[in-house]
Homo-oligomer: A and B are copies of this chain.
């Protein structure tokens, strides 16, 4: 096994060491110095080949995404990322593959000042488990459970792009892709965790979650944790120009509601805080939009412009033209 190749590859790509890493890759464990008084924020997520990414995905994208989905969880807490560990299972030693994977992971880590401090390389079906560790002041974390009836629901960025990107990936062998398709595929392969937006929402958002399973599912988790429900306006869903140009509106809306892998933030604020929240998130480098409100009745309902309950199209009903 290429265990020591991977360690060397990661070490070589993580020279931007943090002062708080007292001992990094190479011993039985890493030694890290938490900032005084801060809470530690910890999460772990696995990506399995063929389940969480198409088997033909570029190794750079696999490495990037394995870290991105974890930084997205830290972002949803409003935490500042600090350190990460990578457990990698590989069917065979392949130095070029491992180096490309390390490139992708290290590129995103550098963007967020994250130090790779440890890991494990084993033989097995291709799988990556990253554990991300961040820090936040006690009491400042954004939880799923704080939404109040009357709060306004917002999301960052645009929704449904990754679901479109997945369909493009699955059809990639059928011919060339245009600029929109390439952009949508990028959204699937290189999600941008909304770390700065999460940090900006501390003290403002009453609840927050990242969108990994799709808006309906994840907003449903937030509502369940808060003991509330939500109403979403179908026409308010933020859809990218690329998605609008690529598929009929009904398909775009279905993906925005039910598609996964967008890694945007869905959050709630009191009505008086909508404008400050929009401004702060904008200043953090991403747009946000109001999509609905929190209500007392449990569950998530979607209404169209005429106020009718939304009847989702079947997934896959309409394909790319």
Taking a contact as CB atoms under 8 Å apart, the answer to whether A27 and B118 are in contact is no
Taking a contact as CB atoms under 8 Å apart, the answer to whether B131 and A27 are in contact is no
Q: Which A residues form the contact surface with B (CB < 8 A)?
A: 22-23, 26-34, 36-46, 48, 51-52, 73-74, 76-77, 79, 83, 85-87, 89, 117-120, 122-125, 127, 129, 131-134, 136, 138, 141, 143-145, 208-210, 225
Minimal Cβ-Cβ distance residue in B for A48: B124
Minimal Cβ-Cβ distance residue in B for A70: B29
Instruction: Name 30 A/B residue pairs within 8 A (Cβ), A-sorted.
Output: A23-B141, A27-B145, A28-B76, A29-B74, A29-B76, A31-B39, A31-B136, A32-B39, A32-B40, A32-B41, A33-B39, A33-B40, A34-B38, A34-B40, A40-B133, A42-B83, A42-B85, A42-B131, A44-B87, A45-B120, A46-B87, A46-B120, A46-B122, A48-B124, A48-B125, A51-B124, A52-B122, A85-B131, A120-B129, A131-B131
Complex: A249 Cα to B219 Cα, angstroms: 63
Known contacts being A33-B138, A129-B129, is A28 close to B43, with CB within 8 Å? yes
Taking a contact as CB atoms under 8 Å apart, the answer to whether A42 and B77 are in contact is no
20 more CB-based (< 8 A) A-B contacts, given A29-B42, A46-B122 = A23-B143, A27-B225, A28-B144, A28-B208, A28-B210, A29-B41, A29-B134, A30-B43, A31-B39, A33-B138, A36-B36, A44-B118, A45-B87, A46-B89, A48-B122, A48-B123, A48-B125, A87-B129, A124-B125, A124-B127
Complex: A76 Cα to B30 Cα, angstroms: 12
Taking a contact as CB atoms under 8 Å apart, the answer to whether A40 and B40 are in contact is yes
Taking a contact as CB atoms under 8 Å apart, the answer to whether B131 and A225 are in contact is no
Task: List residues of chain B with CB within 8 A of the CB of A209.
Answer: 28
Complex: A145 Cα to B22 Cα, angstroms: 14
Minimal Cβ-Cβ distance residue in B for A52: B122
The A interface, classified by DSSP as helix, strand, loop or mixed, is strand
Taking a contact as CB atoms under 8 Å apart, the answer to whether A118 and B43 are in contact is yes
- Of B41, B51, B144, B225, which one neighbours A30 at CB under 8 angstroms? B41
Task: List residues of chain B with CB within 8 A of the CB of A32.
Answer: 39-42
Minimal Cβ-Cβ distance residue in B for A3: B213
A79 to chain B minimum Cβ distance, whole angstroms, is 7
Known contacts being A27-B144, A77-B27, is A122 close to B42, with CB within 8 Å? no
A209 to chain B minimum Cβ distance, whole angstroms, is 6
Known contacts being A125-B125, A225-B26, is A44 close to B141, with CB within 8 Å? no
Task: List residues of chain B with CB within 8 A of the CB of A29.
Answer: 41-43, 73-74, 76-77, 79, 132, 134
A34 to chain B minimum Cβ distance, whole angstroms, is 5
- Of B30, B41, B117, B125, which one neighbours A31 at CB under 8 angstroms? B41
Task: List residues of chain B with CB within 8 A of the CB of A51.
Answer: 122-124
Taking a contact as CB atoms under 8 Å apart, the answer to whether B138 and A27 are in contact is no
A219 to chain B minimum Cβ distance, whole angstroms, is 13
